[in-house]
Amino acid sequence: MFADLVIRGARFPTAPGADALAVRGGVIQAVGGSSELQGFIGPHTRILDLNGQVVLPGFIDAHTHFVRVGLERTLYVDLSDVGSLDEALERLRAAARERRGDWVVARGWDESRWPERRPLERADLDRAVPRQPCCAIRVDGHLVVCNTPALARCPRADDELVDRKRGHLREGAAWELLDTIVPDLATLVDAIAAASRHAAELGVTAVAEMSGKPEYLRAYLHALEEGVLRTRIFLYIPQDRPGAAAALGTARDPGGELLRVVGVKAFVDGSIGARTAALTSPYRDGDTAGTILLGAEELARIWREVSHAGLQLAVHAIGDRAIAEVLRAARLAGVSGHGRHRIEHLELPTEEHLREMADLELVASMQPNFVVNWSGPGKLYERRLGPERDACIDPHALVLAHGIPLAFGSDGMPMGPLYGLPGAVSPPYEAQRIPVEEALRAYTAGAAFSLFAEDELGEIAPGKRADLVVLSDDPRAARPGDIRVEMTFLDGEVIFAR
Ligand SMILES: [Zn+2]
């Protein structure tokens, strides 16, 4: 059978000796030398000569918040690149002038990068945006600062997660407020289209959407129908949503090839940045050891329910105390390896935790871009935890040494494996360092395994989907920062070309 497409003159780091690839019907037919693949070229075959560029399986982001990534590009005010607190306020002021009367929602601020070295507070926001409701989500998503009009709409009674004086809402309190401002369907569909274009530019062909609330699922189905979704979406339903239980009963593949429900997401703790990750000994720079949001007994109950529905559980656990709680829940629930249940982030596991994870056949879903952003001398994790604990954080090498399946994602901070790669291949600490081949595997085949998609995705081999990324250079030889994404293919079709 003649191919639809033959790619020639390429380098395939994962298929040594090959320089050509044939695609038919969106699936890889053959990989090999150009002369071997000559027979696949028919009168209608499209031929693409790549002049030594590098072809890898399309990147898979095993943990992101895709709608949020899109909203950041379409609706939210982006504060991720501002150099100071003052500049952040200036940007909010400008946005408020443009959107009179409406909510101003911003995200991505990170005081650890500012000379002021202090978080945004209510009084700051009141100065910049005095009248309309305004809130700004910290880069890690675990702390939201509100101005006075926004705080007035906070539905939660005061507790330890609500600091009205500073206008700080943490964890559940923050999500509850953000839930009251779900954009309309058209805005969500636009956001999905923007996120999909952005993913293609980054060489990302599949993502796990970790906040698959029912409104988002509806928007994904619309985006699919309108043809603006060109990314494979693996959806996780939030455990605490009304409607999550109903969604458990719905079809596993509501959107066919491009949209599937794989599991349920639960939170056991918060983040290190917000000092809500649950630790065994307190933070170095705060009078707290974080919070367990969901205890082992309740988590075990959820775990049994999710397993019973044939779904996977993905549990957010960052601090060592949270990870221990998850492992206790796994034993209580009697989970089995067939479920491929995942621990999300897994930032401070002990060796004992990792031995147990291997026993329980749990999957590690980690984000090397966290290392790039926050680990190392003088950075946020060191200030929060001290140098000893910082040196033990995100131990990718120990995870692999224990034989635990490893999947890499971004949490959308930001998306893009070429950004995150240095956090695994040239990190500040030894326990974080793994060979580049292993890191690329975690962004492709490892991520596919964690999503039950290894039969179709994550490898360049006959029978797999032709989801491909073309890079200007080989990540085994060049620095990730010097490599460009040249083209991205989904099902053998170009979804991005430089
Ligand atoms: Zn997340």
Residue 165 structure tokens: 């004086």
**C-alpha closest to that of 49 among 21, 15, 10:** 10
> Which one is the CATH code of 5-57+464-497: 3.40.1550.10, 2.30.40.10, 2.40.50.500, 3.90.1150.10?
2.30.40.10
233 CA to centre of ligand 1 in angstroms? 15
Tell me the CA–centroid distance for residue 166 and ligand 1, in Å. 25
Between the CA of 444 and the centroid of ligand 1 the distance, in Å, is: 19
413 Cα: distance to centroid of ligand 1 (angstroms): 9
Q: What is the per-residue pLDDT for 254?
A: 65
CA of 64 to the centre of ligand 1 (A): 6
Given a cut of 70, whether residue 432 has pLDDT beyond it is yes
pLDDT in tens, 392-401: 999 999 999 9
The predicted structure's pLDDT at residue 1: 87
Sequence ranges of the domains in the chain: 5-57+464-497, 76-179, 185-450
Q: Per-residue pLDDT averaged across 213-223, rounded? A: 90
Residue 157 has pLDDT above 60, yes or no: yes
Q: Which tokens belong to 52?
A: 């030594």
Task: Give the Cβ contact number of residue 188 at 10 Å.
Answer: 23
Between 352 and 69, residue with greater pLDDT = 352
Q: Reply yes or no on whether the pLDDT at 373 is more than 50.
A: yes
What's the gap in Å between 100 CA and the centre of ligand 1? 31
Cα distance between residue 422 and residue 441, in whole Å: 14
Q: Compute, in angstroms, the gap from residue 59 CA to the centroid of ligand 1.
A: 18
As a whole number, the mean pLDDT across the chain is: 93
The residue ranking higher by pLDDT, 224 or 72, is: 224
- Model confidence over 123-156: pLDDT tens digits? 999 999 999 999 999 987 778 999 999 999 887 7
Q: Which residues pair with 266 in a beta bridge?
A: 315
Ligand 1 centroid from CA 65, angstroms: 6
Q: How far is CA 352 from the centre of its chain?
A: 26
- Residue 236 pLDDT: 93
Q: Ligand 1 centre and the CA of 167: distance in Å?
A: 23
467 CA → ligand 1 middle, Å: 24
CA of 12 to the centre of ligand 1 (A): 32
CA of 386 to the centre of ligand 1 (A): 24
Q: How far is the CA of 411 from the centre of ligand 1 (A)?
A: 5
pLDDT of residue 306 exceeding 70, the answer is: yes
Tell how far CA 152 is from the center of its chain. 31
Res 242: pLDDT: 47
151-170 mean pLDDT: 85
Residues 6+ apart with CB under 8 A from 125: 89, 92, 134, 135, 136, 145, 146, 147, 150, 167
Which pLDDT score is estimated for 473?
A: 96
pLDDT over 90 (residue 181): no
Distance 491 CA to ligand 1 centre (A): 27
pLDDT at 18 exceeding the cut of 90: yes
Has residue 247 got a pLDDT over 60?
Answer: no
pTM: 0.90
What is the predicted pLDDT for the residue at 241? 62
What pLDDT, on the 0 to 100 scale, is given for residue 179?
Answer: 74
- Give the percent of the chain with pLDDT over 70: 96
Task: Give mean pLDDT, residues 386-391.
Answer: 97
Answer whether residue 262 shows pLDDT above 80.
yes
- Output the CA–CA distances (angstroms, integers) from residue 457 to 59, 339, 351, 445, in the order listed: 10, 19, 31, 7
Going from the Cα of 446 to the center of ligand 1, the distance in angstroms, rounded, reads: 18
pLDDT in tens, 273-296: 888 899 999 999 989 999 999 999
Cα(211) to centroid of ligand 1, in Å? 8
Quick one: average pLDDT of 381-407?
97
The reported pLDDT for the residue numbered 245 is 46
Question: Phi then psi for 239, rounded to 5 degrees?
Answer: -65, -30
* Distance from Cα 66 to the centre of ligand 1, integer Å: 10
Q: What is residue 277's predicted lDDT score, i.e. its pLDDT?
A: 94
- Rounded distance from Cα 410 to ligand 1 centre (Å): 8
Residue 78 CA, ligand 1 centroid: distance in Å: 18
DSSP state of 231: S
Q: Is domain 185-450 given the CATH code 3.40.50.410 in the classification?
A: no
Task: Give the mean pLDDT of 250-272.
Answer: 82
Better-predicted residue by pLDDT, 177 or 247? 177
CA 220 to ligand 1 center in whole angstroms: 18
pLDDT level of residue 168 (50, 70, 90 thresholds) = very high
Greatest mean pLDDT among 166-175, 177-186, 402-411: 402-411
Least confident residue range of 53-57, 249-253, 355-359: 249-253
Cα–ligand 1 centroid distance for 58 (angstroms): 21
Considering the segment(s) 76-179 as one domain, its CATH architecture is Roll (3.10)
CA 122–ligand 1 middle distance (angstroms): 25
For residue 208, which phi and psi values (nearest 5 degrees)? -95, 120
> Pairing mode, if any, of strands 162-163 and 468-471?
unpaired
pLDDT surpassing 90 at residue 408: yes
The pLDDT confidence band at residue 246, using thresholds 50, 70 and 90, is low
Distance between Cα 36 and ligand 1 center (Å) = 45
Residue 28 has what pLDDT?
98
pLDDT at 378: 92
**What average pLDDT does the segment 41-46 reach?**
96
**pLDDT-derived band of residue 252, with 50, 70 and 90 as boundaries?**
low
Q: How confident is the model at residue 73 (pLDDT cuts 50, 70, 90)?
A: confident
